[in-house]
Amino acid sequence: MEARIDKWFEEHSEKLIADVVRLIGVKSVLEAPESGAPYGWGARYALLHARDILDSLRIETAVFEDCMIEGDVRGADGQDGGIPELGILVHVDTVDANAAEWASDPFTADIRDGRIYGRGATDNKGPAVAAMYALACARDVTGGLAKGARILVGSAEEIGCVDIARWLEVNTPPRYVFSPDADYPLANVEKGRFVMHFRKSFGESADLPRVTSIRGGGTANIIPGAARATVEGMSKSALYGYAREFSEKTGAVINVVPTAAGAVIRAEGTAAHASQPESGNNAQTALLAMLAALPLAPSDATDAIRALATLFPHGDTRGEALGIAMGDEASGELTLSFDVLELDGSGFTAKFDSRTPQVADTRDILGTVTAALTRAGIDAAEHTMTRCHVAAADSVLVRTLLGIYKEYTGAEDTAPLALGGTTYVHGIPGGVAFGTVFPGEDNRIHGRDEYIGIEELLLSAKMFAAAIVELCQRDGIISAQ
């Protein structure tokens, strides 16, 4: 079977790559909803491109509420519109990209050095196309699957998986479900997520020195790589001294730009995904650390800045200051990143993003955080919270996928992983994430110059095809016996 799969992809690899290139060319970031396009026309056009690819592969398609595409290969078991044996969940929406930071246009795929560069190359357009082709391959090399398989292509994963949540309200998921939207060898644990939106209103003070504005990050799940503040009433030389001191303390690059009224303070750190705050350097908290140390005049704004710097000290990625640091062996440590802040003379609004281990499901972390904010005079406006997702490490699905990964890669270490991020399978019983980032690889997901290696993409497609074949055999699972 492996030889048949290899031969099939030899014949179809050029078209697969071309389809990835075309799909990357659709800027499918969140936009204002319109009739027929609940997440904007970019995301809707990406779905239509995905449907065209499935149609070209002779895979039956259907549209679910303008937000997802279902692609089905019916099984010989007489699925007839019923629940297929296997489901693969992918998405074609992406986060945005700052073109000025990229070596090439992020929404025009660039192939160089054996890689495809472009926003969504790994997250998740490349893997999505690979899974579509894998479904066609599995059908062709078997002469028809014994049991049905379905690919679900979504368009709102990056804004909280609201599309699959709606799909699950009216549909039953397949027996086996995986999503190629994480790391190899396989992730069977996904931490929960706790996002808090908080704020404080106050009256403006003209007393000097003062901070008149702060602009940090704008997205809860991205650690800000840059932040800025406006300061009035301090000498340039004094600000230069603080900037040097806190550049050394925080590792961020803090610069002072004089203006007619005072100065703009700019902090540059390293952006990263909120699920891995230790891999970035938060420019927002670095800036706050410096601002809190300035000899500012007493005011509500000064109190707020110092309170925020105390609750979210630079380098605290475990929620120690908020009192919610915790962890367990199965899902690891809680992580926290303070990612959104906008402050002016009338108050501030802010958000933090925390990824929570299984033990957090038994603790009142909402109450702990609310109490800490209240003590600082800050209002907890709203929050979202999801529980930790755990799939059994010895399930048929996990054993089968890990067996295929080991067979195709020769890897010795195939222990399942615990993710800080969430995928489409979060909350689906038994669902796991399978690929497509290989160990030791940094595909720059959500960052500049995101890419996927062509060899790695094709290898993933072959493993997906092998998984479909094994999981959809008439007589059950082969490799797991």
**How many other CB atoms are there within 10 angstroms of residue 315's CB atom?**
16
Question: How confident is the model over 321-330, as pLDDT tens digits?
Answer: 999 999 998 8
User: 418 vs 463, which has greater pLDDT?
Assistant: 463
Number of continuous H segments (helices) and E segments (strands) in the chain: 10, 26
| CB of 54 closer than 8 Å to CB of 68 | no
Q: What is residue 439's predicted lDDT score, i.e. its pLDDT?
A: 95
pLDDT band at 480 (very low <50, low <70, confident <90, very high): very low
User: 446 vs 376, which has greater pLDDT?
Assistant: 376
Domain 2-191+389-471 has CATH 3.40.630.10: yes
User: 186 vs 76, which has greater pLDDT?
Assistant: 186
Can you tell me the mean pLDDT for 221-240? 95
Domain 196-383, what architecture? 2-Layer Sandwich (3.30)
Q: What is residue 91's predicted lDDT score, i.e. its pLDDT?
A: 98
Map out the domains of the chain as residue ranges. Answer: 2-191+389-471, 196-383
- Give the Cα-Cα-Cα angle 276, 428, 192 (nearest 5 degrees): 30
pLDDT band at 397 (very low <50, low <70, confident <90, very high): very high
User: 272 vs 45, which has greater pLDDT?
Assistant: 45
Q: What is the mean pLDDT of the chain?
A: 94
478: pLDDT strictly greater than 50: no
360: pLDDT strictly greater than 80: yes
52-61: which pairs have CB atoms within 8 A and are 24 or more residues apart? Answer: 53/19, 53/23, 53/129, 53/132, 54/132, 54/151, 54/153, 57/132, 57/133, 57/135, 57/136, 58/136, 59/132, 59/135, 59/136, 59/139, 59/151
76: pLDDT strictly greater than 90: no
